[in-house]
Amino acid sequence: MTHGDTVVYTVVVRLADAEGVSPEDLEYTLAEYVDPTVLERVGASRSSCRLTFEVPGYVVTVEDGGEVTVEPVSTR
């Protein structure tokens, strides 16, 4: 597995894209909000599972098979 094949890397890249910055320019680390090992386990799972968590401004969902969704937090 290469660095680019990990769920963690995919989440970081998607968040950076949403922010319009490079991954190294995000103002936080993913590990401040979720355990990276758990992300990889969910992404590699063959069972039906999903993990949803928030980082500043976004809701991130990781599903079995490694599907990653990043959506802006709705303002209420």
For residue 75, what pLDDT is reported? 55
For residue 46, what pLDDT is reported? 82
Total tally of structural domains belonging to the chain = 1
How many other CB atoms are found less than 10 A from the CB of residue 76?
3
- Kindly report, residue by residue over 18-57, the tens digit of the pLDDT: 999 999 999 999 999 999 999 988 888 888 889 999 999 9
Quote the pTM value: 0.87
For residue 1, what pLDDT is reported? 47
**Alpha-carbon gap, residue 16 to 35, rounded angstroms:** 18
Q: Is the pLDDT of residue 3 over 80?
A: no
The domain in which residue 34 lies consists of 3-72
How many other CB atoms are found less than 10 A from the CB of residue 11?
26
Contact of 42 with 52, CB cutoff 8 Å: no
Q: Is the pLDDT of residue 76 over 50?
A: no
For residue 21, what pLDDT is reported? 97
For residue 27, the 8-state DSSP code is S
